[in-house]
Amino acid sequence: MRNKIKWGIISTGHIAQKFAEALAILPEAELTAVASRTIGKVKEFAEKYKVPKSYGSYIQLANDPEIDVVYIATPHTFHLENAVMCMRKGKSVLCEKALTINAEEAREMVRVAREENVFLMEAMIPRHIPLIKKSLKWIDDGKIGEVRIVKASRCARGEFSDESRILNPKLGGGSLLDLGVYVISFVFQVLGKFPIESVGVSHIGHLGSDEQGAALLKFDKGEIADLTFALRTEAVNDAYIFGTKGYIKLHDLFAVPTKASLFVNKEEVEIIEEPIIGNALNYEAEEVMRCMKKGLKESPFMPPDESIKIMEVMDKIRKPWGLVYSNDLKYKN
């Protein structure tokens, strides 16, 4: 592999722009091309972020032989189609969360990655934040005893237009896939295993998507996770890991924290404080490049099989809500 890794970005939306900013601080990364459905938007993006090549269609970027890895930043409904298109052209892929709309799609994406022997990872920032990794070491060191309960919230109070992808069911909108995915993924990161029971409730808003929800997961040794996620609610987004001897608090915003506290006998006995470098997306980009340079096709910190499990849990949670996305119907028969 060449020294610099050449990135392409699919879409010019909100997070695509943040990702371009993230790559700019990584010396081993080169943002080579960006693609949009609209030529005007892509030209503007390319100029702003100094991207040498801009394409007015996604397939043109997938066909560019110079590109090593593609960051997919379209609404979740298009992740499978976009990722498969790139992987079939031999590109590695970093795909935004939620990896897909449902587990069936996730299995298909992972199947293609393995068939093409390319790297694939879901973009899940908390998996790569050094402060989170360090605070989870308190568990390995026995500081809180056995983990019994994990409690986490990932809520945003947004003003979204009816057309925005955030609440639009046609674009996979809703709090579970947008933010619930973080808290579910976090529990897996903490416990390193998958639940034996998963239930959830939600409020379905006027557009037909889940504006907010909660999930309870139970694990084999009786551990329980209590999770909330919302798109129109101001909340404190801490995470707690409660054990038999003490507990860990990842302070708001737990998914990109700058402070973690260890409590024993209700006293704060240790604190880790650390700034986030860049806008945090750089951590996941670094992990992709680390893996690619080593020839790894999967990251041990966010393995594709785990992304499939996360989608399975989300499928299970939303089934009783009657919330069916058009992508779900493709797998009905």
- Taking a C-beta distance cutoff of 8 angstroms, is the pair 45, 51 a contact? yes
Q: Which is nearer to ligand NAP, 78 or 242 (CB)?
A: 78
Q: Is 110 left (phi over 0), alpha (psi -120 to 50) or beta?
A: alpha
In sign, the C-alpha dihedral spanning 283, 285, 291, 293 is negative
Residues whose CB is less than 8 angstroms from the CB of residue 164 and which lie 6 or more positions away in sequence, other chains included: 173
Q: Which is nearer to ligand NAP, 143 or 154 (CB)?
A: 154
- Taking a C-beta distance cutoff of 8 angstroms, is the pair 93, 67 a contact? no
Which of 7, 20, 64, 75: binder of ligand NAP (CB under 6 A)? 75
Q: Counting contacts by CB under 6 A, is residue 105 touching ligand NAP?
A: no
Which of 5, 8, 11, 219: binder of ligand NAP (CB under 6 A)? 11
Q: Which is nearer to ligand NAP, 14 or 114 (CB)?
A: 14
In a 3-state reduction of DSSP, which class is residue 158? coil
In sign, the C-alpha dihedral spanning 28, 33, 38, 40 is positive
Q: Which stretch binds ligand NAP (CB under 6 A): 5-13, 21-29, 86-94, 190-198?
A: 5-13
Q: What CA–CA distance (Å, rounded) separates 51 from 36?
A: 13
> Closest approach of Cβ 8 to ligand NAP, in Å?
13
Which of 38, 47, 146, 305: binder of ligand NAP (CB under 6 A)? 38
Quote the strand ranges of the chain, DSSP E.
Answer: 5-10, 29-35, 53-55, 69-72, 92-96, 120-123, 147-155, 197-204, 210-218, 224-230, 239-243, 246-250, 259-264, 267-273
User: What x/- string results for residues 152 through 171 when contact with ligand NAP is judged by CB under 6 A?
Assistant: -------------x-----x
Q: Counting contacts by CB under 6 A, is residue 123 touching ligand NAP?
A: yes
Q: What CA–CA distance (Å, rounded) separates 219 from 104?
A: 23
Which of 30, 64, 96, 298: binder of ligand NAP (CB under 6 A)? 96
> Closest approach of Cβ 12 to ligand NAP, in Å?
4
> Closest approach of Cβ 243 to ligand NAP, in Å?
29
> Closest approach of Cβ 328 to ligand NAP, in Å?
16
Q: Which stretch binds ligand NAP (CB under 6 A): 6-14, 152-160, 223-231, 238-246?
A: 6-14
> Closest approach of Cβ 73 to ligand NAP, in Å?
5
Q: Counting contacts by CB under 6 A, is residue 15 touching ligand NAP?
A: yes
Which residue has the closest beta carbon to ligand NAP?
Answer: 13
Q: Is 278 left (phi over 0), alpha (psi -120 to 50) or beta?
A: left
Q: Counting contacts by CB under 6 A, is residue 76 touching ligand NAP?
A: yes
Strand partners, 241: 150, 248
Which of 5, 7, 13, 292: binder of ligand NAP (CB under 6 A)? 13
- Identify the residue whose tokens are 């924290």: 257
Residues whose CB is less than 8 angstroms from the CB of residue 280 and which lie 6 or more positions away in sequence, other chains included: 22, 125, 129, 256
Q: Counting contacts by CB under 6 A, is residue 237 touching ligand NAP?
A: no
Q: Which stretch binds ligand NAP (CB under 6 A): 73-81, 148-156, 207-215, 302-310?
A: 73-81
Q: What is the CA radius of gyration of the chain?
A: 20
Q: Which is nearer to ligand NAP, 37 or 193 (CB)?
A: 37
Which residues of the chain form contacts with ligand NAP (CB under 6 A)? 11-16, 36-38, 41, 73-76, 78, 96-97, 123, 125, 165, 171, 178
